[in-house]
Amino acid sequence: MTTHALPAAADLEVRRAPAARHRFVAVGRTLVRRLVDIAVVLFASATLVFVMLQLMPGEPEDVLLRGIFEITPAVRAEVIQDYGLDRPVLLQYGQYLLGILQGDLGASYQIRKPVTEIIAANIGNTAALAGAGLALAIAMATLIALVSAGRGALASLVTQAVELLAISVPSFWIGLLLLTAFSFAIPIFPSSGADGPLALVLPAVTLAIPLTGVLSQILRERMDEALDLPFVTTVRTRGAGEFRVRVRHVLRHAVLPALTFSGAVLGSLLIGTAVIETLFARPGLGRVLLNAVIAGDIPLIMGVIVFGAVLFVVINSLVDVLATAVDPRLRIEAGVS
């Protein structure tokens, strides 16, 4: 909200162009910054994973082959060759980084497939689950926040209690309840697999419930704050109805933190849905990671960690760029005024 005097119509015509240019420059600068971030995260995560491998007790080839009961000399030779383990550590590090830059995240010696292939085969199902869960959570949280914000102490207390419950009940338990109700007792949805949209419903709802709790907290608190701001009074004096005030004016104030949070959550969901995928027997990246941990498939764990770190920062960067485009204040922070 500005306090400038209203400019003449002719001035507005002139100033529109620089504003658009500013926006473009701001978005461009944010984009460049984020690309640097991505490069840094890629480098840092790869380095961390490499150091982790060196620090684990035992020879690196034994660590990489952990979980395989009978390690034949041929498998050992293959691993030594793949990671250049017969060469000095610095060269190994260089080879590893170079491989990652070329999109080579290594191979699982248990499943006998490249890690990228395993990720590619599973990311779709997980993305569908995470996307559907997040979309559902955003819709429900927005609704709850719109209805409950600024309704007095009692309403606030009840909403908070519901939100806390949604956040604190374990997903596993929510999923089991949903399964029991809507698959076992009333057979509407299949209990396992990822075959078709029907199979997505229960896992997505399970995922959405705790997310809704957190998102709705963020939205509601911001809306509570915004409802007390002077501009709301101004809007009301112009004769705007309650619905218009909330949806058109107050909600906008709350969207940005919610957007940032959603970005962070989506990034972590893409490899963090193991519990739900296991319960609903869905293929997916979370389950791949969980099984890799159980089976001691170190190359797969390493690959998924690097992939997950990069994915996380990529998604958050996209959200940032989006936010810069949406919010004028961030353009100022980006160095363009």
What is the contact surface with other proteins in residues (CB under 8 A)?
A: 57-58, 62-63, 66-70, 72, 74-75, 77-78, 109-113, 121-122, 125, 176, 179-180, 183-185, 187, 190-195, 277-284, 287-288, 290-291, 294-297
Structure tokens at 80: 């030594």
Q: Are 125 and 283 in contact (CB under 8 A)?
A: yes
Residue 25, Cβ density class (10 Å: 0-12 exposed, 13-18 middle, ≥19 buried): middle
What is the smallest separation between the CB atom of 111 and other proteins, expressed in angstroms?
Answer: 6
What is the smallest separation between the CB atom of 113 and other proteins, expressed in angstroms?
Answer: 5
What is residue 113's three-state secondary structure?
strand
In the bound state with other proteins, the residue whose beta carbon lies nearer, of 41 and 279, is 279
In the bound state with other proteins, the residue whose beta carbon lies nearer, of 5 and 294, is 294
Give the Cα separation of 273 and 284 in Å (integer): 8
CA 254 distance to own-chain centroid: 19
In the bound state with other proteins, the residue whose beta carbon lies nearer, of 2 and 72, is 72
Give the Cα separation of 311 and 74 in Å (integer): 34
Q: Could you tell me which of 177, 203, 206 has the C-alpha nearest to residue 125?
A: 203
What is the smallest separation between the CB atom of 197 and other proteins, expressed in angstroms?
Answer: 16
Q: Which residues pair with 293 in a beta bridge?
A: none
Give the Cα separation of 179 and 198 in Å (integer): 13
What is the smallest separation between the CB atom of 82 and other proteins, expressed in angstroms?
Answer: 12
In the bound state with other proteins, the residue whose beta carbon lies nearer, of 69 and 243, is 69
What is the smallest separation between the CB atom of 130 and other proteins, expressed in angstroms?
Answer: 16
Centre a 10 Å sphere on the Cβ of residue 51 and count the other Cβ atoms it contains. Answer: 11
What is the smallest separation between the CB atom of 268 and other proteins, expressed in angstroms?
Answer: 20
